[in-house]
Structures are given as structure tokens and as C-alpha cells.
């Protein structure tokens, strides 16, 4: 399932014109773990992480961007506490 979710992330990135992975390895690991392979959750959390990275003018999405994105998604808050 984890490999399928990683493939999903790559497909979604390609759909928006990014042909390389902009998530650093720790960030992607956290994204996939928290999302549990659920595409909608990957999309929501990934979008917020992109926004956080853009605010900092970062070309790479870090674990910290994922953590900040979680702050904006209260329905995922419980998952954050379980880390």
C-alpha cells in the first residue's frame, strides 16, 4: 500500500507539471503515514504543505511543512498526536 501511495503522489505531481518529487524523504514518509494511503487525505495534506512551502519560497517540502499543514487540518489533529 505504501508503494501505491508513493506512486499516487508521483502521478499527482506530474499532473501539475512537476516531474520530480518535491517532498524530501522524511516529509513524504510522514505524509504517507498520516494519510494512510487515502488519496483525498494525501491531496488535502499535500496541498496545505505546498502552501506552507510557497510561503517560505521553498522549492522542497519538508517535514516541518507537513507539520504546519497538519495545524490547518483539525480533522487530522488526532493523527499528529499519535506520532
CB-CB contact of 39 with 64 (8 Å): no
Q: How does pLDDT run across 10-30, given as a tens digit for each residue? A: 999 999 999 889 999 999 999
Q: What is the dihedral of CA 9, 52, 65, 21, to 10 degrees?
A: 30
What's phi and psi for 56, nearest 5 deg? -95, 5
Q: How does pLDDT run across 40-81, given as a tens digit for each residue? A: 999 999 999 999 999 999 999 999 999 999 988 877 765 554
In this structure, what C-alpha cell is assigned to residue 12?
499527482
* CATH numbers and ranges of domains, the chain: 2-81 (1.10.8)
Tell me, what's the pLDDT at 2? 80
In this structure, what C-alpha cell is assigned to residue 5?
501511495
CB-CB contact of 31 with 37 (8 Å): no
Amino acid at each position: 500500500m505504501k508503494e501505491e501511495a508513493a506512486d499516487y503522489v508521483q502521478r499527482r505531481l506530474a499532473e501539475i507539471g512537476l516531474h520530480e518529487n518535491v517532498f524530501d524523504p522524511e516529509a513524504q514518509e510522514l505524509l504517507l503515514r498520516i494519510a494512510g494511503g487515502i488519496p483525498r487525505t494525501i491531496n488535502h495534506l499535500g496541498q496545505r504543505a505546498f502552501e506552507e512551502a510557497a510561503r517560505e519560497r521553498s522549492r522542497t517540502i519538508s517535514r516541518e511543512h507537513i507539520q504546519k499543514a497538519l495545524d490547518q487540518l483539525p480533522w487530522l489533529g488526532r493523527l499528529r498526536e499519535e506520532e
